[in-house]
């Protein structure tokens, strides 16, 4: 496997792990904190991660090589 591809896979898995940790935090925050604001902030962090790293929203305004 070439290095560029391996790095891309690693980045995806890292973001996935971050999302998993945030989900677990969300679950325990709901049980112990009962704060709507905290829960929505955690949801917002997850949403930003998905939008930026999985959905690559920045490609909308970035000029790059076409595919």
Partner 1 sequence: MSAVAEQIAAHGVAHGADTHDVHDTHDAKEQLRNNRLGLWLFFVSEAFLFGGLLATRFYLWGETRPPVDQIVGLIVTSVLLVSSLSMKLAETAMENGDRRTFSIGMIVTAILGMVFLFGVMIFEWGIFPSIYKAHETPWDNVYGAVVFAMTGMHALHVISGVIFILIVWNLGRKGHFSSDSHWGVESCAIYWHYVDLVWIFFYPALYLIGTPVH
Which positions lie near partner 1, rule CB under 8 A?
1-2, 4-5, 8-9, 12-13, 15-16, 19-20, 23, 26-27, 29-30, 36, 39-40, 42-43, 46-47, 50-51, 53-57, 59-60, 63, 65-67
Is residue 46 within 8 A of residue 23, CB to CB? The reply is yes
Classify the phi-psi angles of 4: left when phi > 0, otherwise alpha if psi is within -120 to 50, otherwise beta: alpha
Smallest distance from partner 1 to CB 25, Å: 11
Q: What are phi and psi of 9, to 5 degrees?
A: -65, -40
Smallest distance from partner 1 to CB 11, Å: 8
């Amino acid at each position: 496997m070439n290095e560029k591809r391996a790095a891309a896979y690693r980045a995806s898995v890292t973001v996935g792990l971050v999302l998993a940790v945030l989900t677990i935090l969300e679950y325990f925050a709901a049980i112990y904190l009962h704060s709507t604001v905290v829960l929505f902030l955690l949801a917002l962090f997850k949403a930003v991660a998905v939008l930026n790293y999985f959905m690559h929203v920045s490609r909308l305004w970035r000029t790059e090589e076409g595919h």
